[in-house]
Amino acid sequence: MKLITNGIKGTADVLPAESHKWQFVEDIMRGQAQSYGFKEIRTPVFEHTELFSRSVGDTTDVVQKEMYTFTTKGGESVTLRPEGTAGAARAMLEHGIYNDGYPIKTYYLTSCYRYENPQKGRQREFHQFGMEVYGAPSYFADAEVICAANSIFERLGVKNLRLELNSIGCKGCRPNYHKALKDYFASHEEELCDTCRSRLDRNPMRILDCKSPICSEIAKGAPVVTDYLCDDCRTHFEGVKSCLTAVGIDFKVNPTIVRGLDYYTRTVFEFVSDDIGAQGTVCGGGRYDGLIEELGGQHTPSLGFGMGIERLLLLLDAQGVVLEEPPVCDIYIAGISDAARIKAFELTEGIRNSSLIAECDIVGRKLKPQMKYADKIEAKFSMVLGDDDLAANKARIKNMTTGTSKEVPLDDKFYDAFYNIYINGENDIYLSKIGLDEE
């Protein structure tokens, strides 16, 4: 039978066999965010197009080439979010969260959409974890955000990551750098791609981020932004580096990092790996002190980062990092007769009320296939109910690892009896696994 349709190009399904990896990584991210005092924010999947064109920047590849933009039946131009920061900033302003006092610390786990060529580590629908801070001008905030990202990698056991830093200045010192860049690239104008020629007057820093091999090669000889920093920006950058050194986080200053979005100012950073090919940046962020003003608010120093979950999982797999396995069934209760199946259903539901994982037959299998299924799902314990067991009001629970069994009542004392066996049985399973069960 032919399928009506397949998944859309550039999207991927997270199947049951893999979903526990996503859940494990997401739980680590949530836990680390909360340990740093961040609270979750959730924003709509689409926003008015002007939000992204104003915040991300109309000279960026994201806005010029990659956004999913469409017109609604009401004639509004809306766009699927290409990144998470703009929506979080809009929500902070719209709902007056700034009235709660600074700093405001938020995090999100969200899907994002960019129309680009799908490849390993890059999809048209991808998922992003991000942390955002509003109202914190100090370089300590920059260092804290970088430390938060680093803590996630450490908790997950990621190895061989490079932290690369740069400062791209502020509105005061950046014009001098722009002039130097414009003068430099103007002498190579005929060699630049069409997109970069259009950027030359509007935002020459975007040329440094171009993926064209020719433009990238030309950019290697461009003036270095750190040579044009004002005293305040230089002091701020030195402060960030001092904080990271104080907590033992290694870094490299990379003056070519500008990040791909226009809202960045001062500190920008990336965590980079060589283990997943060309798409080696697994986390990127920095400071964007002018973003809130650009969206219509008061001047609000802001910063944060985005971390691609697909790319992070790809890195974990490439490095052979073993993630925590998903929980397995604690007990499978099989029923032979119709009456026994009803009792099995009742007991299973009761066990689930205590947050243990319990299953019974819902397919209509006979006993042998039921027990094969119990093995397949790696049930720790099993119990078989028949009419004789119901008549005697008792049955036996079997430890599926050791093969031992114990009798339990089927009345209201069943649950206490099972929990006692479960606690002891878990110890038996552990001892069996390490080869000490016979001692």
The string of pLDDT tens digits covering residues 147-192 is 999 999 999 999 999 999 999 999 899 889 989 989 999 999 888 8
pLDDT of residue 200: 85
pLDDT tier at 117, thresholds 50, 70, 90:
confident
Provide the percentage of residues in the chain whose pLDDT is more than 90: 72
- Name the average pLDDT for the chain: 91
pLDDT of residue 285: 95
pLDDT tier at 70, thresholds 50, 70, 90:
very high
How many domains are there within the chain?
A: 2
Give yes or no: residues 312 and 353 share one domain: no
| Most confident region among 67-71, 273-277, 372-376 by mean pLDDT | 372-376
| Most confident region among 133-147, 197-211, 215-229, 413-427 by mean pLDDT | 133-147
pLDDT of residue 276: 87
Which range marks the domain in which residue 280 is found? 16-173+229-318
The tokens 């973003």 sit on which residue?
291
Q: Which of 131, 25, 19 is nearest to 84 (CA)?
A: 131
Where among 292, 318, 344 does a domain terminate? 318
Q: Are 137 and 301 in contact (CB under 8 A)?
A: yes
Give yes or no: residues 281 and 409 share one domain: no
Give yes or no: residues 255 and 392 share one domain: no
pLDDT of residue 206: 80
pLDDT tier at 3, thresholds 50, 70, 90:
confident
Over residues 407-417, mean pLDDT:
94
Asked whether residue 44 is assigned to any structural domain, the reply reads yes
pLDDT of residue 35: 97
Give yes or no: residues 309 and 411 share one domain: no
pLDDT at 439 over 70: no
pLDDT of residue 62: 75
Asked whether residue 366 is assigned to any structural domain, the reply reads yes
Q: Are 360 and 348 in contact (CB under 8 A)?
A: yes
CB count within 10 Å of CB 304 equals 27
Asked whether residue 188 is assigned to any structural domain, the reply reads no
pLDDT of residue 437: 45
pLDDT of residue 369: 97
CB count within 10 Å of CB 382 equals 21
pLDDT of residue 38: 98
Give yes or no: residues 110 and 248 share one domain: yes
Asked whether residue 295 is assigned to any structural domain, the reply reads yes
Give yes or no: residues 21 and 127 share one domain: yes
The domain that contains 418 carries what CATH number? 3.40.50.800
Least confident of 113-117, 127-131, 261-265, 402-406: 261-265
The Cα 192–Cα 181 span in angstroms is 13
Give Cα separations from 354 to 71, 328, 330, 343 (angstroms).
49, 15, 11, 18
Where among 275, 294, 318 does a domain terminate? 318
Q: Are 120 and 76 in contact (CB under 8 A)?
A: no
pLDDT at 429 over 90: no
Asked whether residue 293 is assigned to any structural domain, the reply reads yes
The Cα 262–Cα 160 span in angstroms is 29
Residues 6+ apart with CB under 8 A from 90: 43, 47, 51, 295
Asked whether residue 194 is assigned to any structural domain, the reply reads no
pLDDT tier at 336, thresholds 50, 70, 90:
very high
The domain that contains 123 carries what CATH number? 3.30.930.10
pLDDT tier at 426, thresholds 50, 70, 90:
low
Give yes or no: residues 393 and 308 share one domain: no
Over residues 252-266, mean pLDDT:
81
pLDDT at 436 over 50: no
Asked whether residue 181 is assigned to any structural domain, the reply reads no
Give yes or no: residues 284 and 422 share one domain: no
pLDDT of residue 300: 95
pLDDT of residue 438: 45
Where among 258, 291, 318 does a domain terminate? 318
Give yes or no: residues 303 and 337 share one domain: no
Asked whether residue 340 is assigned to any structural domain, the reply reads yes
Better-scored residue on pLDDT, 417 or 200: 417
pLDDT tier at 95, thresholds 50, 70, 90:
very high
The Cα 317–Cα 418 span in angstroms is 38
pLDDT of residue 60: 67
Give yes or no: residues 376 and 423 share one domain: yes
Give yes or no: residues 309 and 335 share one domain: no
Give yes or no: residues 150 and 297 share one domain: yes
